[in-house]
Structure 1
Amino acid sequence: MLGEQVRPGYRGQHPQGARARIIAVNPDGDAPIFGFAEAGAVADARQLLPLLAAVLERMEKEPA
Structure 2
Amino acid sequence: MPVYEFFCRKCQEPFTENMSIKEHDERTPKCPRNHEAKEVEKRISSVHTVTTKKSLTY
Q: Which is helix-richer, 1 or 2?
A: 1
- Work out which structure has the larger RCO, using CA pairs closer than 8 Å and 6 or more positions apart in sequence: 2
Return the TM-score normalized by structure 1.
0.25
Q: Which is strand-richer, 1 or 2?
A: 2
Return the TM-score normalized by structure 2.
0.26
